[in-house]
Amino acid sequence: MRSRMILSIAVASAMSFPVGMVTIASAQDRDRDQLKTQQQLQDKDKLQTKDQVKEKEQLKEQERTRERTREQTRTDRPERPQHEKAERTERGGR
């Protein structure tokens, strides 16, 4: 009777050992998967941040280009000299 009890305890502990190992392994896998997911999310956030920075830089560059174009347009149209303005008003007044 005593040997049967020892044998059943040994069998029970042997059967529970692989289950315990599987539980530990599955917990490690779960933790590893969570870390991977967190890293992927962080990488995605970094990429989004980089994209946002690039978009802001592009918008700033577009604004600079517009300003340069406006300045060139202003300088391309020369203003009339003051004496021409005066002559035209005299002609209209006669």
Q: Taking the domains of the chain in order of start, what are their residue ranges?
A: 2-73
Tell if the pTM clears 0.75, that is, is over it. Answer: no
At 69, is the pLDDT very low, low, confident or very high (cuts 50, 70, 90)? confident
pLDDT for 88 beyond 70: no
Q: Largest alpha-carbon pair distance within the chain?
A: 139
Give the dihedral of Cα atoms 61, 62, 63, 64; nearest 10 deg: 50
Task: Please identify which residue in the block is written with the tokens 């007044």.
Answer: 93
Q: Give the C-alpha separation, 17 to 63, whole Å.
A: 69
φ/ψ of 78, rounded to 5, equals -70, 145
pLDDT for 50 beyond 70: yes
Quick one: how far is CA 6 from the chain centroid? 62
Q: pLDDT tens, 7-45?
A: 888 877 766 666 555 566 687 888 889 999 999 888 888
